[in-house]
Structure 1
Amino acid sequence: MEKLRKYLRIALPALFIIYLGCLIAFTHVHIVNGVTIVHSHPYSKTDDGRPNHEHNYAVFQLLHQLSTIQIGGATSIAILFATFLTFLYKLSCRPVYPDYLVPIKGKLSLRAPPVA
């Protein structure tokens, strides 16, 4: 396990740097049916600087899926609901009482102690 961690400490940052370099160096545009599609991958250029390749519809869909994060409505509502329940649990299970309200731990009383 330690050998895997040692490998990942080097491999994951290197992979991220390569990915970021690819995004910066190879971003290009395709216009298909009046829709501008921007994506990034290594490609060869023509003499005027345009990409010298074409993609079909399935490849555009794949590139779109790889470059976007999609969260459905039900998922976002579930995340908000879980956050709210966690906040509500913390409020209800660990209430904060001022010292003057709880002179005896566990007993809520606003009257003064009896005088003997």
Structure 2
Amino acid sequence: MDKLRTYLRIALPVLFISYLGCLIAFTHVHIVNGVTIVHSHPYQKNDDGTPKEEHNYAEFQLLHQLSTIQISGAAFAHVLIAALPTAYCILTNRPVYPAHLRPVLGRVSLRAPPFVF
């Protein structure tokens, strides 16, 4: 488990930075049937800076589906309804108390520790 966490601590930031770099470096525009489509992926350029190869309709649909997240209001409500009771149960069964507020079990004390010059 610790190896997985160590791996993810490195892999996820690298993945995010490479994704962001791809967005910044490879963004380009296609105009298909009067519709402007902007997307990003590595490509080879022509002399004028435009992409060498054009996409077909299926590739445009795939790029659109990969870059768009759609969720209905009902699905979002179901996710919230499922998450709230779970969070409530976790907090009521295992409440979070900072150590400095509970020096003695069952008693809240805000007194500072003794200090000697």
The TM-score bracket by the shorter chain reads 0.5 to 0.7
Name the residue aligned to 2:72: 72
Paired residue secondary structure (2:36): strand
Name the residue aligned to 1:48: 48
The yes-or-no answer on 1:9 pairing with 2:9 is yes
Give the number of the structure whose alpha-carbon radius of gyration is greater. 1
Name the residue aligned to 2:26: 26
Name the residue aligned to 1:37: 37
Question: CA RMSD, aligned part only?
Answer: 2.1
Deviates more, 1:60-69 or 1:9-18: 60-69
Paired residue secondary structure (1:45): coil
- Give the letter aligned to residue 28 of structure 1: H
Q: CA deviation at 1:75?
A: 1.6
Q: Distance in 2 between matches of 1:53 and 1:75?
A: 39
Task: Label 1:4 to 1:77 Cα distance change in 2 as closer, same or farther (>3 A).
Answer: closer
TM-score w.r.t. the length of structure 2 is 0.65
Q: Distance in 2 between matches of 1:12 and 1:41?
A: 19
Q: CA deviation at 1:79?
A: 5.3
- The 4+ residue runs of structure 1 with deviation greater than 4 A are none
Q: Distance in 2 between matches of 1:66 and 1:52?
A: 22
Would you say how many aligned residue pairs link Structure 1 and Structure 2?
85
Name the residue aligned to 1:114: none
Q: Distance in 2 between matches of 1:76 and 1:11?
A: 29
